[in-house]
Amino acid sequence: MDDTHSERSRRQFLTLGAGIAASGLLAGCTDDAGSGGDTDAPTATPTDEPTPTATPTETPAETATDAATVTGSGVETPYSVSIEPVGSVEFESVPETWVANNGSWADMGIALGLEPPEGVWLKSRYHTQYYDSIPGVGVDKSDMVSLYQDGGVSKELFYELDADVHVFDPNFLVNRFKSMEQEDVTEIREEIAPIFGNCIYAQHYPWHSDYRYYSLMEGFEKLAQVFKRTDRYEAFEAVHDEFQSNLAPVVPNQGERPEVAVLWGVGNEPEQYYPYIIGEGTGFKHLRDLGVRDALASTDIKDFHGSRAAIDLETLLEVDPDVLMLRGYEAMERGKFEDTVVSYLDGHDTASALTAVQNGDVYRAGGLYQGPITNMVLTERTANQLYGADAELFDRERVAEIVAGDL
């Protein structure tokens, strides 16, 4: 370990009350497409939740530390921000560089006008094409690093990145990767920079059962506090509130909404599907906000999170949902998705009998990792697909202004 690096870490940052649980080691993580590489091609089983062997301990209550010094930029230092499961984290200066768990947190940073994170678990799962419709907003991922490489996560990579803060749930790191143990997490926190985050994209991990989850906007507010950009959060909160108001007249009465099956299609010619019951977490926010009726929820089909089992087209035909929302294809442009996946279903003996296929109601379901900008993009897209809401439902110019700091 570099002595200068160690001194920098101790001088700039101090982690307080770190309630990070020591948990058992589990099977390593691959990307959700199962390829283990930096691709989104849905060719194998998505890996969402190995079963842990231990339960995390509850963390200290959220507290705040009074600031003592005002810097030249007007920021009082040191300052603290609290989030479960890490407790209260004190910063002696505002972080500049960072790494993020996934596209949910990465997008929050972009909304705050930050430079993109140095790394995310899999940069192929951070779908930056969602920014294409926001004027002047974009992310170049060419220098971004995937933290998950060669079947695991390397502690040494965190030293190489030398970020000022690590925005992820430490229990996720320990429970999801064979290569990481509790002492590695402790070393990263103490010798490099603080760990600050919560696994918010889904709510199915048993190791997350003893501490709270945060909604997308709650997590966003916490990150804004870390980077001392709560003014941008508040401006964005107003945009989000207006967006929610615009959604209300778009969503029809419940009996008029189609029944939707959310599935992970295996490959570009899918005959097997991993079923997702619409639940809590940021990964389902766009569907919850649209009041989607879940075609699978009232059946005997088990959610992939618990069963890890696939269903075939014959089983899907028994349910015969009005709409198919397929995950794992976000890297495909709409035209390519229709020319490959949808075209295959049209020509398949069983799939072609599905109501959704016959009516042309097969769509990409949106990514698992959503932040404040990408969620609005996906919600608007899905509203247009399901309810024919041929309109812009949020102010893109205002989003661009907030990102640029024009508040």
Fold of 251-403: Rossmann fold (3.40.50)
> How far is it, in rounded angstroms, from Cα 345 to Cα 352?
6
Structure token pair of residue 191: 């010798």
> How far is it, in rounded angstroms, from Cα 368 to Cα 313?
23
> How far is it, in rounded angstroms, from Cα 153 to Cα 4?
24
Which helix (H) or strand (E) element contains residue 226? helix 216-226
Which helix (H) or strand (E) element contains residue 275? strand 272-276
pLDDT at 70 (0 to 100): 55
Residue ranges per structural domain of the chain: 3-242, 251-403
> How far is it, in rounded angstroms, from Cα 114 to Cα 96?
8
pLDDT at 305 (0 to 100): 79
pLDDT at 187 (0 to 100): 97
Q: Which residues of 351-369 are buried (b: 16+ CB within 10 A; e: fewer)?
A: beebebbeeebbbbbbbbb
pLDDT at 10 (0 to 100): 32
Q: Which residues of 120-146 are buried (b: 16+ CB within 10 A; e: fewer)?
A: bbbbbbbbbebbeebeebebeeeebbb
- Location of structure tokens 């890996």: 47
Q: What is the dihedral of CA 353, 356, 362, 365, to 10 degrees?
A: -120
Instruction: Indicate the DSSP class of residue 339.
Output: I
Q: Of all residues in the chain, what percent are helix, strand and coil, respectively (each to 5)?
A: 35, 15, 50
> In the beta sheet, which residues pair with residue 311?
273
Q: What is the tens place of the pLDDT at every residue in 192-204? A: 999 999 999 999 8
> How far is it, in rounded angstroms, from Cα 406 to Cα 169?
31
pLDDT at 5 (0 to 100): 40
Q: Identical fold at 3-242 and 251-403? A: yes
- In degrees, rounded to 5, the angle at the alpha carbon of residue 194 between the alpha carbons of residues 210 and 168 is 50
> How far is it, in rounded angstroms, from Cα 382 to Cα 374?
12
3-state SS assignment for residue 303: coil
**DSSP letter string over 52-94?**
PSS-PPPPPPP------EE-TTS-EESEEEEETTTEEEEESS-
To the nearest 10 degrees (0 to 180), the angle between helices 372-387 and 216-226 is 160
> How far is it, in rounded angstroms, from Cα 394 to Cα 375?
11
> How far is it, in rounded angstroms, from Cα 91 to Cα 214?
22
To the nearest 10 degrees (0 to 180), the angle between helices 103-111 and 216-226 is 60
**Listed residue (67, 70, 60, 48) closest to 18, CA to CA:** 60
> How far is it, in rounded angstroms, from Cα 286 to Cα 50?
25
pLDDT at 151 (0 to 100): 87
For the domain 3-242, what is the CATH code? Answer: 3.40.50.1980
Q: Which residues of 286-315 are buried (b: 16+ CB within 10 A; e: fewer)?
A: bbebbebbbbbeebebebbbeebebbebee
> How far is it, in rounded angstroms, from Cα 213 to Cα 361?
33
Q: Residue count of the chain, please give it.
A: 407
pLDDT mean by block of 10 residues, the chain; 407 residues: 40 34 29 34 38 30 40 76 97 96 97 98 95 96 94 94 98 89 96 97 92 98 98 98 97 96 97 95 96 96 88 98 97 97 98 98 96 98 96 97 97
How far does the chain reach from its first CA to its final CA, in angstroms? Answer: 43
Structure token pair of residue 43: 């060719």
**Listed residue (168, 22, 28, 12) closest to 91, CA to CA:** 12
**Listed residue (175, 182, 176, 198) closest to 84, CA to CA:** 198
